[in-house]
Chains A and B, each alone.
Chain A
């Protein structure tokens, strides 16, 4: 029982130590192994959390409820496979002369620090500490973009991310004010667990106002409209950081929105949070489905496609029933896995062929198939799991709000069509010259590990997993 509060703390501390070690390491190779060690240890610790008894002690500094634990396991898993992927990635970059040893070392250090910051944002029981974790994540992503000279993208992320963080901070302050008549003064009482207990007695109108700012602020970091350009800009940096790990930021932001939504839903005087969340989600999906037709650059295409799927998750959370939150969490989990795998495959392909990927499938079948499988999975085509979660969301929408099922279905179909067209183009394009060595098949293992999980959850979800998602949905309803 006593181990429960220690493990989440260690899961944050070890990657942080690995980041410090990597920054001071004598070589990029040592830094890579430190990053791998930190991320693997964080995953092992996070994976142990579901098996420990959950102490519903509201006063603790770190959360260990099913939602926080689930997202921590997912984040640490993606970071771990990302660290395995990053070592050969940076070696190839050095061999090609696109990065020196110092850049590679800093890249590994930033990767570990980003994992620690994301885990703080997920596991912190204090909303302001969670905000600080998100702020650190944004700054680390900005630093990652600067690492490869993507100055304009770094500036765009800085401005949009900073504005989002400012709005989220304002929302958190309003939330504290709304709960203050029940909680009493003092920052030590502001905890997610306390807030969940007192939300029904909180000041309803102020809670509504707080939710609006939290939705706009964290929605920016999740990639929801109206400030949705930040994450697309982040795609331009080095793949292990901005391609793989930036895909985790929307999940962390959406989870915070989901917590705020649950607080608002519990208050009888507050306006229902669902319509605003559904509207932003649907608009994000429709905007992404239109933007995908025009997007040529593969990295930005992936970022925009994921923005649409994040919109689907937000829409599902907005519907607010147990079944839709179940489906939304499943969709978010699978999307995070698919996005990270696709970003890894895309980075390998670009190291081989540059931005023009023609002829990939004919000459490098394993790599071409990895990318094609990722695009098909992201399109929500069976047997991959995103079909299951998407189908559940559409089904529930048809049952609860039939009229909204039409734009949702159209948006999903348009996104799927654009992704399928991109997969077909990958197969049909004429061969282009190669600029680097072909990756060994073993280099694609992390991506295929992700696809295996996505396939498993789509074809035959274990009963224990169903029960786990149901617990999260029940707690957040």
Chain B
């Protein structure tokens, strides 16, 4: 039984780690790659929610996993591809990759250093998943800050929603999970309110 519990934690950490690695990869200036990566990150967030739902026997988290998968990994990528089809292979202006990667690594380390010691007594695994989720949020904020093209900024906001969804999974809050799904609704609104004249640079 203890081995099973260890497996649950290891898989949860692995999924959060993959989401963070995808967050780093999202710092690429190529818009097409960004769309695929953020879609993959949403899928990973959905799997993490489903895994947590299974381990905690939570119907609310299972519903959240389904919502994140449907909205974040299917509907939004489809809508985004339709909008971006006019500018295939375009790139966004971005600072040099070494500087961006160094800043992202510093933010990830900051998240881990700050969140890990703050974990609840008796629940260290929750602190680790939370630290990784906060790292995803901070890296997404960096991406949001350095992007110039509206579509790339929207992808940054989408990654932010993925990070908050992972945090809601780590906390295990049903109401928080639904609020984090609402952030994906924000991304959908972003597709509508995106300035028409500003395309990918």
Q: Which residues on A are within 8 Å of B, measured CB to CB?
A: 126, 128, 131-132, 135, 139, 142, 146, 151-152, 154-155, 158-159, 162-163, 165-167, 169-170, 172-174, 176-177, 180-181, 185, 187, 190, 203, 205-206, 208-209
Contact = CB atoms under 8 A, between A and B. Distances in A.
A160 to B, nearest CB: 9
Contact of B167 (A154, A173, A203): A173
A205 B195 CA distance: 41
A180 B175 contact: no
B164 interface: yes
27 contacts: A131-B179, A132-B179, A135-B182, A151-B195, A155-B194, A155-B195, A158-B193, A159-B153, A159-B190, A162-B186, A163-B157, A166-B161, A167-B141, A170-B163, A173-B167, A173-B171, A173-B176, A177-B120, A185-B172, A187-B173, A187-B175, A190-B173, A203-B118, A203-B120, A206-B120, A208-B118, A209-B118
B120 A152 contact: no
Given A159-B157, A170-B164, A206-B118, A176 B176 contact: yes
Contacts of A166: 137, 157, 160-161, 163-164, 183
Contacts of A190: 173, 175
A177 B115 CA distance: 12
A220 to B, nearest CB: 11
A151 B172 contact: no
B22 to A, nearest CB: 17
Contact of B137 (A151, A155, A170, A208): A170
Given A151-B195, A152-B195, A206-B120, A159 B183 contact: no
Contact of B171 (A126, A154, A174, A203): A174
B147 to A, nearest CB: 10
Nearest to B160: A166
A152 B197 CA distance: 9
Chain A CB within 10 Å — which of B119, B173, B176, B182 has the most? B176
Interface of A is mostly: helix
Contacts of B173: 173, 176-177, 187, 190
A158 B171 contact: no
Interface in B97-126: 114-115, 117-120, 126
A163 B179 CA distance: 14
Given A158-B186, A163-B157, A209-B118, 10 more contacts: A128-B179, A132-B179, A154-B193, A155-B194, A162-B160, A166-B183, A174-B171, A177-B171, A185-B172, A187-B174
Nearest to A129: B175
A157 to B, nearest CB: 9
Kindly name the residue among A131, A154, A159, A187 whose own CB sees the greatest number of chain B CB atoms within 10 A: A159
